[in-house]
Structure 1
């Protein structure tokens, strides 16, 4: 039913029937829109062609295999860790990050999930760029990277970045500072680092720092051996160092 023909029907209809005529016209318009939308959806594809080839020519089957076949330095440069460390980390997080295959498609292996995440952390590449490298869609990468990061933190933090929780723990750190650096009564070295970001929409000057850039702040506490004891990241760059410290969980410990 054309729009001009619909208008003619509306003009010819008695006033008491105009409501029914309008309803009929609207139903016809909605029907045509649904039919058009259905055609558009039918034209779309389930998976992009270059992504369908992941299990045949993905980086697991090509690039990573080639790097391992060499002296190992190239793999370390690509992942920022050697193969043994990579596998140790993969063993720790595998149960948390791996997914089951479905009837329609095979899941992304835990090794590839970890490799994508490490490559993102090492280079800061965009998810779209990583899609072309790994043949995993950018939308999937945007979900798996935070998930893998959380799994890595959950498994490694208690072992490698345990915050001192007793008076004796803090005294031990103070002794190390005195013995190694001749710096008494120090329970840690603390500082912050601005991480430049692209400000979110409508953020105004919320992330605008004293350097004239938008940033979030990484606050870190280290022991006498330069090992991290505590980190807090995400505070807006506009805030002062003192304000960042007072907003951290470290300040609420009332230890330092």
Structure 2
């Protein structure tokens, strides 16, 4: 009995020591956690004068009251447009009441976000400019970009949902770009990122940098009508498009498009314009392969590529105005998607409300009898060592149906006919010997 009692005492003491050691480890972990999370100060001493020295209370009000031109360069919009945008998002970003301290106003939050998007400077830079904590700036940008997407997306980035809207787009393309039955131009661009956490090689693209892909379609006025955001940088345009809702709706005839109408005496469906990487469909027209082209096919390629300048110009305006795209975005993937959504919404919003300031004369590519005059946005984008938005790899797809081939051949004949031709097309192609390199 004595031996059993001694063994029992030894076991109890061992268990007590183990429990005490575990409690000591827990207490140490809690102590270091409290120590790590404890803030040294609520507001840094250097930021306590932000009401007198921060940009919101100095430069912003000076430009707003005294220099409208510089205010537009500062925020990419006029004071009246800034105020209107503020009324749309104020409810979402208004600070909650606190009797101990005054929160950051909705007006300042909107300004911080616009400066971040318009300059491409880091969140640390905005922290110094506005004398706010870096974590505060990060939360402001996330909340405001989300609000811009929620408030503007349904109105200014609305996907056409009825026959009248599609017919209007097709009429504008035919009137402005001389190409019949076009309901949009489609393309994709790489948006540069810093290496995402746990991203591995999925976001590493053929240009040897990390990116996510923005797939978009636009109308004849450079407004985005459809965006698909967040695909892996390693994917190409064709595979991304084949997984999209737009592809599914077009392939299964679930869009309320106008009925087929005569083009050159033959009933022709409505379609979107793409480049060589996409598969030729009755609802997607693309250029002929570049080898062994006849003069008529060269003319068709030139006219089609000329009409596709809308999507290239749309991306160009976007990257020229919102310089966040001019360097790798340092943010988590959720915030990157919100940034892209917010900028595409702002692009459409400003095109709709103050087009002459947002896209002044000469800002986009224009055409005359001598060919293409590059838009001013190109010089703004090409100032950097690398393009702001990168094109995915162009690998031509040669799979198509007989109906799609016949439709393209018919459009080619129509473009070269007396009814469908324009005076400058043959002269231009003959003078160049081939389609302009800038149009490919």
1:3 is matched with none
- Whether 1:236 and 2:237 are equivalent positions in the alignment is no
Structure 1's 227 and 52: CA in aligned 2 closer, same or farther, altered over 3 A?
same
Q: Which has the higher contact order (CA 8 A, sep 6+)?
A: 2
Alignment of 1:18-33 (within 5 A): 18-21=14-17, 23-24=19-20, 27=23
Q: Deviations over 1:222-254 (max 9, x none)?
A: 112222212222211211111111232322332
1:154 is matched with 150
1:190 is matched with 186
Structure 1's 33 and 234: CA in aligned 2 closer, same or farther, altered over 3 A?
closer
1:95 is matched with 91
Structure 1's 29 and 175: CA in aligned 2 closer, same or farther, altered over 3 A?
closer
2:81 is matched with 85
Structure 2 residue aligned with 1:225, among 218, 221, 226? Answer: 221
1:10 is matched with none
1:70 is matched with 66
In structure 2, distance between residues paired with 1:215 and 1:139: 24
The count of residues paired between Structure 1 and Structure 2 equals 243
Structure 1 gap ranges (5+): 1-13
In structure 2, distance between residues paired with 1:141 and 1:201: 21
In structure 1, distance between residues paired with 2:224 and 2:26: 61
SS in 2 for 1:218: strand
In structure 1, distance between residues paired with 2:233 and 2:179: 30
* CA deviation after TM superposition for structure 1 residue 56, in Å: 3.5
* CA deviation after TM superposition for structure 1 residue 199, in Å: 1.9
In structure 2, distance between residues paired with 1:182 and 1:238: 36
* CA deviation after TM superposition for structure 1 residue 81, in Å: 1.4
In structure 2, distance between residues paired with 1:182 and 1:31: 76
1:118 is matched with 114
In structure 1, distance between residues paired with 2:204 and 2:28: 49
Alignment of 1:171-210 (within 5 A): 171-210=167-206
* CA deviation after TM superposition for structure 1 residue 86, in Å: 0.9
In structure 2, distance between residues paired with 1:209 and 1:29: 46
In structure 2, distance between residues paired with 1:250 and 1:46: 49
Normalised TM-score (structure 2): 0.50
SS in 2 for 1:87: helix
* CA deviation after TM superposition for structure 1 residue 129, in Å: 1.7
* CA deviation after TM superposition for structure 1 residue 166, in Å: 1.7
In structure 2, distance between residues paired with 1:125 and 1:78: 13
Q: Deviations over 1:129-172 (max 9, x none)?
A: 21111122221222221221122222223332221112332222
1:44 is matched with 40
In structure 1, distance between residues paired with 2:32 and 2:174: 76
1:212 is matched with 208
2:101 is matched with 105
In structure 1, distance between residues paired with 2:211 and 2:154: 28
In structure 2, distance between residues paired with 1:40 and 1:236: 36
Moved more, 78-87 or 152-161: 152-161
2:315 is matched with none
1:11 is matched with none
In structure 2, distance between residues paired with 1:171 and 1:184: 11
Q: Deviations over 1:65-103 (max 9, x none)?
A: 222343222222111212111111111211121122212
- Whether 1:127 and 2:123 are equivalent positions in the alignment is yes
Moved more, 87-96 or 42-51: 42-51
